[in-house]
């Protein structure tokens, strides 16, 4: 069995697991995200300089895109905003989502960002390492939240895929995409999730670039 298949089976197994507290080391991201100041997506647009005009236009189009359900869209905003590691981006997208969906969605999206912060590092290493011995070793990492996210599991998988795209874990991308396709999620929805992730990340980079001027 190849490691990609094993990872998919691992995610499936966790869908039948009992709830468990998220891996403690990843709780820091969630605690940070709870302390949000006042920031909106419109505020972000006003801060994006002209050298990143395309980024600003993409951000505007994303806000009005209705390809995803509201829960999928705003949960993705939270997860990817946190994954961008930019305080202004995080505050704006968490603030936008807080006004549109209930607290359980916000918390689950924070969980997705947190657990992928762990999985994306570990499984990217397993995937890229020349030594294949690591592929047969148990990960020994808690990830029960994947099976018990507190929201629709398909939505959680979509957020996990988007964060995995930001963090560049090919093995995780394949595993989450496989779960989504088996759940009959369309290619358009999957592409939209990754497109949103790329826009959110580009906003963070544009703001960082503006700070160097």
3-class DSSP assignment, residue 173:
helix
Q: What are phi and psi of 185, to 5 degrees?
A: -75, 135
- The terminus-to-terminus CA distance of the chain in angstroms comes to 51
pLDDT at 13: 47
Q: What is the mean pLDDT of residues 173-191?
A: 98
Q: What is the domain count for the chain? A: 1
Dihedral sign from CA coordinates of 66, 72, 74, 79: negative
Q: Half-sphere exposure of 30 toward its Cβ, with a 13 Å CA cutoff?
A: 18
CA angle 151, 123, 203 (to 5 degrees): 65
**Three-state SS annotation for 100-134:** CCCHHHHHHHHHHHHHHHHHHHHHHHHHHCCCHHH
CA distances from 33 to 23, 26, 29, 139 (A): 16, 12, 6, 27
> Using 50, 70 and 90 to split pLDDT, how confident is the model at 38?
confident
Q: What is the mean pLDDT of residues 59-76?
A: 96
Domain hosting 66: range is 3-210
With contact defined as beta carbons under 8 Å apart, do 189 and 67 qualify? yes
> Using 50, 70 and 90 to split pLDDT, how confident is the model at 12?
very low
> Using 50, 70 and 90 to split pLDDT, how confident is the model at 2?
low
**Cα–Cα distance for residue pair 109/34, rounded to 1 Å:** 12
Question: Can you say how many angstroms the Cα of residue 84 is from the centroid of all Cα atoms in its chain?
Answer: 9
Question: Can you say how many angstroms the Cα of residue 175 is from the centroid of all Cα atoms in its chain?
Answer: 14
Evaluate if residue 5 carries a pLDDT over 90.
no
Average pLDDT along the chain: 88
Evaluate if residue 11 carries a pLDDT over 60.
no
CA angle 55, 56, 58 (to 5 degrees): 65
Q: What is the mean pLDDT of residues 28-38?
A: 48
The predicted-structure confidence for 157-169, as pLDDT tens digits, reads as follows: 999 999 999 999 9
Q: Is pLDDT larger for residue 18 or for residue 174?
A: 174
With contact defined as beta carbons under 8 Å apart, do 105 and 151 qualify? yes
Q: What is the mean pLDDT of residues 192-212?
A: 96
Give the CATH number, domain containing residue 192.
1.20.1290.10
pTM: 0.82
> Using 50, 70 and 90 to split pLDDT, how confident is the model at 47?
very high
- Known catalytic residues are 169, 172
**Cα–Cα distance for residue pair 111/119, rounded to 1 Å:** 12
């Amino acid at each position: 069995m190849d490691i990609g298949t094993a990872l998919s089976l691992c995610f499936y197994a966790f869908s039948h697991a009992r709830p468990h507290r998220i891996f403690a080391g990843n709780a820091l991201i969630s605690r940070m995200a709870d302390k949000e100041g006042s920031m909106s997506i419109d505020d972000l647009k006003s801060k994006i300089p002209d050298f990143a005009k395309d980024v600003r236009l993409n951000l505007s189009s994303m806000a009005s895109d209705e390809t995803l359900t509201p829960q999928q869209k705003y949960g993705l905003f939270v997860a990817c905003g946190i994954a961008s590691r930019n305080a202004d981006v995080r505050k704006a997208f968490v603030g936008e989502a807080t006004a549109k969906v209930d607290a359980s969605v916000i918390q689950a999206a924070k969980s997705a960002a947190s657990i992928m912060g762990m999985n994306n590092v570990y499984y990217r290493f397993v995937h890229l390492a020349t030594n294949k011995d690591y592929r047969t070793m148990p990960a020994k990492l808690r990830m029960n939240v994947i099976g018990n996210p507190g929201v629709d599991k398909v939505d959680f998988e979509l957020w996990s895929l988007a964060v995995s795209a930001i963090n560049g874990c090919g093995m995780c991308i394949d595993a989450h995409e496989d779960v989504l396709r088996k759940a009959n999620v369309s290619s358009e929805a999957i592409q939209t999730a990754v497109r949103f992730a790329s826009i959110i990340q580009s906003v963070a980079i544009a703001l960082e670039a503006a700070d160097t001027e």
